[in-house]
Structure 1
Amino acid sequence: MTPLARASHPQISEADAAALTELYRRGTPANTLRAWERDMAYIAAWKMASFGRPPAWPEDEKVALRFILDHAQDLSERPGAAQDVAMQLIALGLRRALTCPASATLDRRIASWQAFHRMRNLASPFAAPLVQQARQKARRANARPHNPKSAKPLTRDILETLLATCDASHRGIRDRAMLMLAFASGGRRRSEVTALNVEDIGLDDFAAKGLVWIRLLQTKTTRQDQAPRLPMKGRAARALVHWLEVSKISAGPLFLPVSLADRPLPRRLAADALRTILRHRLVLAGLPVDFATPHGLRAGFLTQAALDGAPLAAAMKLSLHRSAVQAQRYYADVEISENPATDLLGD
């Protein structure tokens, strides 16, 4: 039984508790549920190794403080209880190394722990002033330079190089359509691309306007009741329609696996298929296999928008970024090189 299913609600009936647990499941994105499960497995193992007992609800503030302290230092050269616990977690496959985890990892695990407190309508121990202060100090002490999710943004010129490797086979037509859709519709995440169904593609305006509409039922920043419809034009729209025509699919998954005999197979691609496809195309294009990741298509869309002078707000309407600060990073990287102040001494 998962931690979510074990949630206790002492002030309501068992039937209502079960209904509330199911409501959390249906109202939370699948990726978030999986992250909660992984984080709670880690937290439960850490608590058992550190204190010899499972998590308590509500958890004690001293336990929350110890969790932060144990994850705010490099334990490689620090023998003691914290190092012993870390070694147990490594043996269980829950921790990678004795080095200090990234601040983002610690923040995510704490957020998951807090989420399970909210499910029980309990106050979080991480809201205590001393614990909050320790968390802030740990974040500052272990701050690291920002590492992009992709080594390089896949801007238009690089994307064109990859598209040139896509031939007229079913695999080539599919890969061309996937790469162009992921880029041109706003820099879609790989899970969003593989989750698309034929029913999510609107072709009513294609014949007259060359326009295709893409409905995203669920993304990292939107819910199903907010399902955005995004436009895709030109070559990208034609590439997608061409895939629909040659694959002859009319319902179900939009992008299918292709057999070695070059036949589309009637099942959905794996969620990580875009990574495999991108690596294959990078190799065919003579680029290193680690030249970029699927996030490079998302970064490439925003970087290209900045290079072409598209307003940030317009690009965000397609990328669906909620944070202008995050989206602005791509624009800032481009704009600073064009800043007149960088050329004060001339050539």
Structure 2
Amino acid sequence: MGIGRFSSISTIIFSVSLVISANVIAGDFADQSGNVFAFQKKLAAKGNVKAQYKLGYMYEMGEGADLNLDEAKKNYKAAIESGYEPAALRLTYLEVKEKGFDKEKNADWLVSIKKMSVGSSAEALEASFLQGQLYREGIGVKKDLQKSLEIMYRLSMEGVTAADDEITKIEAETTANLKKKKAADKRRANKDAADKKQAEIARSKQQAKKEQARKAEAAAAAKAAAKPAAPAPQPAAKAAVKPATQQPAQSVTARAPAAKATKKAVAPAAAKTPEESAKSEKRKRYEAIMRKLAEEQAEINLLQGGVVDDEF
């Protein structure tokens, strides 16, 4: 996974093959993942604890090798024996995914993740990454794509390449959910339109019946009126009512148009460095996904029983 900041030579050596350009083609990516896997396997055989952890993660995700959870657990356990605490958190994560979250049994696990996620060490970044995954999947905590996105965006800006994959998953899930919502809204609108049409038909039939009854009543009244009857007394003439004099409309003073603000000349912005441009693009992507999530997360919270609590 290569979680960690690339701020030292040892970290770069450990993770260099994971810093892959976004425009690399799928075939090259597969070859490169295979090379990383082979390299980590050699290091793990020599007892390198981070390589053991990395190898476990690659088996877990199926990167550079076929997905194999048994091998993932085996390598995580080897890293645990060497004292690498993030491996223990990752191993428990796999067990929870298989057996389900036990609040009493796994409560300490969540506490450990929270404690370890503080700071900027490699271990802290590993724990933060796992925390973001739990929020995305709703394991041990209530599902919260917004919190997951915030965590993964921060890690991505720190140089954690695996966080970019998680952001892609969040974006894909958000897009899929929005499509489902639009489809559901369309079905609901069609049903409402059909119900409205049926109601209009029923109302038209009811009006037709009333019209028939009115005509029948009018015909009966006309028939009765055809018989001679005594002239009715004429009512007294009413006094003519003088119409009230209308008051002239008051004139409304038109507002004077506001003076246009004088535009100040803006100096051209300085050119961004490639690193600044990359971070700017990440920020734009983060904000775009967050806007999509605004309405969706509210519905997720409602389904889960209201506002999401921070179980961490």
| TM-score under structure 2 length normalisation | 0.26
Which of the pair is proportionally richer in helix? 2
Query: Rg: which structure is higher?
Result: 2
